A and B are shown apart, each in its own frame.
Chain A
Amino acid sequence: MESLLHKLLLSTGIYHLTFGNVIMWLVAFILIYLAIKKKYEPLLLVPIGFGIFVVNLPITHLMEAHGILGVFYHYGLEWEIIPPLIFLGLGAMTDFGPLIANPKTLLLGAAAQFGVYIAFFAALSMGFTIPEACSIGIIGGADGPTTIFTTVALAPHLLGATAVAAYSYMAMVPIIQPPIIRLCTTKKERLIRMRQLRPVSSRQKVIFPLLTCLLICLFVPASAPLMAMFMLGNFFRESKVVERLSSTAQNELMNIVTIFLGLAVGGTMNAENFLTPKALLVFVMGLVAFSFSTFGGIMLAKLMNVFSKEKINPMIGAAGVSAVPMAARVVQTVGAQEDPRNFLLMHAMGPNVAGVIGTVVAAGLFLTMAR
Chain B
Amino acid sequence: MEKWYLAVRIFGVGFSCVFLILGILVVSLKISNAVLSHFPSPQGKK
Q: Which A residues contact B (CB, under 8 angstroms)?
A: 100, 103-104, 106-107, 109-111, 113-114, 117, 120-121, 124, 129-130, 133-134, 199, 201-204, 207-208, 211-212, 215-216, 219-220, 354, 357-358, 361-362, 365-366, 369-370
Q: Is the CB of A215 within 8 A of B25?
A: yes
Q: Which of A103, A107, A211, A366 contacts B14 (CB 8 A)?
A: A366
The residue in B10, B19, B24 that gathers the most chain A C-beta atoms within 10 A of its C-beta is B10
Q: Residue B36 at the A interface, CB < 8 A?
A: yes
Known: A212-B25, A361-B21. 20 other contacts (CB 8 A): A100-B33, A103-B25, A103-B29, A106-B23, A107-B23, A107-B26, A110-B19, A110-B23, A114-B15, A117-B15, A120-B7, A124-B3, A124-B7, A133-B7, A207-B32, A220-B21, A361-B18, A361-B22, A369-B9, A370-B10
Q: Is the CB of B29 within 8 A of A100?
A: yes
Chain B interface, >50% SS class: helix
* 10 A–B pairs (Cβ distance < 8 Å), ordered by A: A107-B22, A107-B23, A113-B18, A120-B10, A203-B41, A216-B25, A357-B22, A358-B18, A358-B22, A361-B18
Q: Which residues of A contact B4 (CB under 8 A)?
A: 124
Least CB distance from A123 to B in Å reads 10
Contact with A along B1-45 (1 / 0, CB 8 A): 001101101110111011101111110111011001001011001
Chain A interface, >50% SS class: helix
Q: Is the CB of B10 within 8 A of A369?
A: yes
Q: Is the CB of B22 within 8 A of A117?
A: no
CB-CB nearest in chain B for A210: B32
Q: Is the CB of A219 within 8 A of B21?
A: yes
Q: Is the CB of A199 within 8 A of B15?
A: no
Q: Which residues of B contact A111 (CB under 8 A)?
A: 19
Q: Which residues of A contact B32 (CB under 8 A)?
A: 204, 207, 211
Least CB distance from A264 to B in Å reads 28
Q: Which of B10, B28, B41 contacts A202 (CB 8 A)?
A: B41
Q: Is the CB of A369 within 8 A of B13?
A: yes
| CA A282 to CA B33, docked complex, whole Å | 42
| CA A220 to CA B26, docked complex, whole Å | 17
